[in-house]
Amino acid sequence: MKLIEVKDYQEMSKRAAEFIIAKVRAADAINLGLATGGTPVGTYEYMIEDHKQNYTSYRDVTTFNLDEYVGLSGSNPNSYRYYMDEKLFNHIDIVKLNTHIPNGDAADMEKECLRYENQIEQHGGIDLQVLGIGSNGHIGFNEPGTSFESSTHIVDLAPSTREANARYFDNLDEVPDKAVTMGIATILKSREILLLASGEKKRDALAKLFNGEVDERFPASILKNHPCVTIIADKAAIPEGVIARK
Ligand code: PGA
């Protein structure tokens, strides 16, 4: 894992956007894995700004999001489909049909999991997956204890995850208790991974990632076994004693 240290959230967002934009520009076509949550919002803002100023095109980009809440349709402002449309897709020249997010509102969610997993495979897999990290080490919605062999599946959200995400809802009761997420094996199949972390609240998670064993009780630890992981983290998120490249 390569760690790049940056000053703050703004710089993390800028570096992350530059990283992604360089890959988009270098490839004839690319499959991007995207994430939601608070962390990548600034990255998407820089990508939009660059699209407007430098005309980086997303016509040949296909995207696959990590996860979605179960029970929310894409028109619900708390769904990740809505988030992605609002925060990125509506502002760049991507073809909407090429943007894929698991359907949290499918009649048969088991079938939906299989469909999504197969869809990623049929498109040739993910070239670059963007990840955040939960304070409990989750990646996507893969909570502690999830099998490293897991493919796209339904999860019960951990109380800490529901509490962390309650800020987007009117109250905690409204946060869905289930989600559909790419599995850990799905994420690990990505050819390259970019993990973003900002702020003091992520420092313990990064300490466990760097200093701990590879263990299913801390899902992100599996990233140590992936050959091509870059972490962009700001000063506040980097634990003492971990040496980073500036
Ligand atoms: P956050 O979530 O970006 O909102 O901190 C990250 C995650 O839970 O993976």
On whether the CB atoms of residues 88 and 58 are closer than 8 A, the answer is no
Nearest-CA residue for atom 8 of ligand 1 = 134
Q: Is 39 in the pocket of ligand 1 (CB under 6 A)?
A: yes
Would you say 157 and 177 are in contact if contact means Cβ atoms under 8 Å apart?
A: yes
Burial class (CB in 10 A: 0-12, 13-18, 19+), 181: buried
| Sign for the pseudo-dihedral over CA of 153, 87, 195, 239 | negative
User: What pLDDT digit, counting tens, does each position of 81-101 carry?
Assistant: 999 999 999 999 999 999 999
For the record, the structure tokens of 137 come out as 């080490």
- 198 CA distance to ligand 1 middle (Å): 10
Which parts of 7-166 are beta strand (E)?
30-34, 61-65, 67-69, 99-100, 128-131, 153-156
Mean pLDDT for 47-57 is: 98
Mean pLDDT, residues 218-234: 98
Distances (CA, A) of 188 to 32, 33, 52, 172, 219: 14, 11, 33, 31, 11
CA distances from 162 to 136, 167, 175, 179 (A): 12, 9, 6, 11
Per-residue model confidence (pLDDT) at position 244: 78
**153-195 pLDDT per residue, tens:** 999 998 999 999 999 999 999 999 999 999 999 999 999 999 9
pLDDT digit string, tens, across residues 5-38 = 999 999 999 999 999 999 999 999 999 999 999 9
CA angle 102, 215, 211 (to 5 degrees): 115
How far is Cα of residue 179 from the mean position of the Cα atoms in its chain?
14
**How far, CA to CA in Å, does 240 sit from each of 133, 184, 224, 245?**
18, 28, 19, 14
Whether 138 is catalytic is yes
Residue, of 220 and 244, whose pLDDT is higher: 220
Mean pLDDT of 111-118: 98
| Average pLDDT score, the chain | 97
Is pLDDT at 246 greater than 80 in this prediction? no
Q: In the numeric block, which tokens belong to residue 106? A: 């499918």
Whether the CB of 212 sits within 6 Å of ligand 1: no
- Residue 243, pLDDT score: 80
| pLDDT score, position 245 | 76
pLDDT above 90 coverage of the chain, percent: 97
Ligand 1 site-directed mutation target among 36, 66, 87, 133, most atoms within 8 Å of CB? 133
What are the φ and ψ backbone dihedral angles of 181, each rounded to 5 degrees?
-140, 145
Domain spans in the chain, listed from the N-terminal domain onward? 2-237
What pLDDT is stored for residue 237 in this prediction? 98
Task: Tell me which CATH code domain 2-237 carries.
Answer: 3.40.50.1360
Element holding 193 (H helix, E strand): strand 192-197
| Residue nearest ligand 1's atom 2 by CA | 37
Please tell me which residue in 136, 142, 165, 234 is annotated as part of the active site: 136
Q: Say yes or no: CB of residue 133 within 6 Å of ligand 1.
A: yes
Q: Is the CB of 134 under 6 A from ligand 1?
A: yes
Q: Write out pLDDT tens, residues 201-223.
A: 999 999 999 999 999 999 999 99
Average pLDDT on 42-47 reads 98
Ligand 1 atom closest to 35 (CA) = 9
Instruction: Tell me if residue 143 is catalytic.
Output: yes
Residue 3 C-alpha to ligand 1 middle, in angstroms? 18
Q: Is 144 in the pocket of ligand 1 (CB under 6 A)?
A: no
